[in-house]
Structures are given as structure tokens and as C-alpha cells.
Structure 1
Amino acid sequence: MPSLHILDYDPAHQPAFRALNHEWITRFFVMEEPDYQMLDDPQRYILAPGGAIVMAQYDGQLVGTCALLREHAGVFELAKMAVAPAAQGLGIGWALGQAAIVKARELGARQLELLSNSRLTPALALYRKLGFRAVPVPPSPYQRTDVKMVLDL
């Protein structure tokens, strides 16, 4: 029986972290400069500033990921959440989201925010199920952003 494990990020996970995110971004949008920065050097752009990354391993394969970006005191951004197409529908996104919320609390977050796009209907449904609510969208470094959601912890 296949098993799901949520793992803390290890530098050896970088190729999977990059590939999982590159796949969904290029399927719906185009890669932008912040994408390249975070996917090519997560240590510098995510971890060193106080963020975290979790990985989902299903049946021995890395099939999902989610990052937490430290925005400022008590506020983190849920970002770079991806699940391999072949592993979608197995509850992996839900498990990653729950793990990210737990990790955010451990890091001292009092609020999580995320930026998304209205075309990503399944992702938005997952975020709502996790407790996020829509708020006005501020200017963003991503052209694709037309949704912002927050979750008070």
C-alpha cells in the first residue's frame, strides 16, 4: 500500500522542488524572475530569510512541495505549492497545506497569505478548505496574480 510522508526540505530535494513548480507554472503561465530565483536557489531566497519548504513523498517518490516565505514579523506567504499531475486527487495538496500551516505556527506566524490566479480553481478550492479567505489584491511581483488570500493563525 502506498504511503505519504511530509518531509522537511533537504538540499538534495532542490531538483524535485524546481521540477514540480516548473511543471505547473509553465502549464498555465510563464516563468517570471521571482520564480527562477526561488526555484534555482531556495536556500538564498526562501530558507536563509527565515522561510521553510516541505516536500511530499508518496510511494517513495517526491510528488509535492510547498514553501513558506517570511514576509515580516508574524506574516508568512504560502508559496510554490505544487503536486505532480500523476499524484493529484490523492489528498497530497491537503496534507501539504496542513503541514505548512503547522510549520508556519512553529516559525511564529500569526498570519499566512498567498497570491494566486483565478484560473487555478482546484487550488483556490483547497485554500478555502484550509481556511483562507479572499482579500483585496495589492501590486505583486507576478503578472499572473489576481487573487490574494489570508489565513489568521
Structure 2
Amino acid sequence: MYDKILLPTDGSANSEKAIIHAVNMANDENSEILVLNVVDSVYLSGLPEEELITDTEIVLERESKRVTHRVEKIIEKYEEELDIEPGKIKIETLTMEGNAADVILKISEEKDVDLVVMASSGKHMIDRFLLGSVTEKTVRHSKVPVLVIPNGY
């Protein structure tokens, strides 16, 4: 039913349950997981132009490694509990720059995903009040089902 699952995550503690759900579903459905980490370009806009390209690449690479490591550690932690066969789940990691909700929606279409699994909020809780929720925008505009895992679940 779900051949490709998009897992937008920032690697925060709030996203752990979403990671577990995505891995469990992928294990049951024999699905591929695309882990997506989005670095909001707003935080990079204060850099001088000549440093922006180099610093952006460094930030993206560092964030990609951090999130990939976090996801791998969570999978290892729950491997036995979820009865996951080592190497069964194909996981691809993608780190991109931009507005999180816009990138999630764009990647879900471009990569032809069947389901988006995400936490109700990530590490930037204040964003919900100031900018509007990434999760809410994703749910409202997604062309595929979105499974939202609430914090504290």
C-alpha cells in the first residue's frame, strides 16, 4: 500500500515517535523511507554573501550527518522490539534548504511518495505561534495522506 514513505524530521526528541512509526510501517509494508531534513534558509540569511554558499554547504552537510546518525540510533534502539530484519528497510536521507513545509510538499510530489509520517511539532515550538505550523500546512496542502504523531504519544 505504501511503497515510499516520506519522513520529515529534524532529529529532535519530538520526532522520535514519528521515526519509530515510519520504520514500523516500512517494515510491515516492505516500504522505502525517505528521511528529509530541512534547514530553514531564514537562519542563514544573515551571513555575508561571499560566505553564504560555503557556509550553507557546511550547515547542510553537518545537519544531514546529525539527522542520519539520530535516525540510525533510534532504529538500532527499537530494532529488536519492532522485529526489524537488518538491511530490510531501504533508507535514503535528503537534506535541503528552504521553508520546511514548502520543501516537504515539493519533495513528496517529486519523489512520488505514498505517505508522509511526521511529528506534530519539532524543536522550534515557537514557530507554531509566529509562523504557522509546518505540520498544519503540510496536512492542508499535501496530495498524499499525512500521518501526524502527536508529541507525548
- Is TM-score (shorter-chain normalized) higher than 0.5? no
The normalised TM-score by structure 2 is 0.30
Q: Which has the higher helix share?
A: 2
Larger Rg: 2
